[in-house]
Amino acid sequence: MQELNDLENILLDGLTKKYPQFKSHLAYLKVVDRKLSNLGLDVQLEYENYSGEFDETNALFSNGENIEIQNLKEGLSYVIDITAGKITSVEFSKMGWKIDRL
């Protein structure tokens, strides 16, 4: 497992402003996988050595920021998945991306 990077930590810190009960979770989160797809980057998370309890929160969180990256014209958006009280993933996608067909 890998450590969270700076961007992931910043976004998760923003999550705790709306959901303060998750502040204590951040020190225990590790990256299991970072996987590129046709839609963006999917960062899968797991807890390491967490002995706390999980609540029943189910949510998708995004503050609607446009994350600007050098050489990326449109920027990035993101969504953080909370399932059964666990922060499970951060998904990044390119802003301005259009679906031609499903």
Eight-state DSSP code of residue 11 = H
* Nearest alpha-carbon partner for 64 in 22, 29, 18: 18
Domain residues of the chain, as ranges?
6-94
Q: Flag whether pLDDT at 73 surpasses 90.
A: no
Which DSSP string corresponds to 85-102?
TEEEEEEEEETT------
**pLDDT value at residue 99:** 58
pLDDT grade, residue 98 (50/70/90)? Answer: low
Number of helical (H) and strand (E) elements in the chain, helices listed first: 1, 5
Which regions of 37-75 does DSSP assign to beta strands (E)? 40-47, 59-61
Q: Flag whether pLDDT at 5 surpasses 90.
A: yes
Q: Flag whether pLDDT at 30 surpasses 70.
A: yes
Looking at every residue in the chain, the average pLDDT score rounds to 89
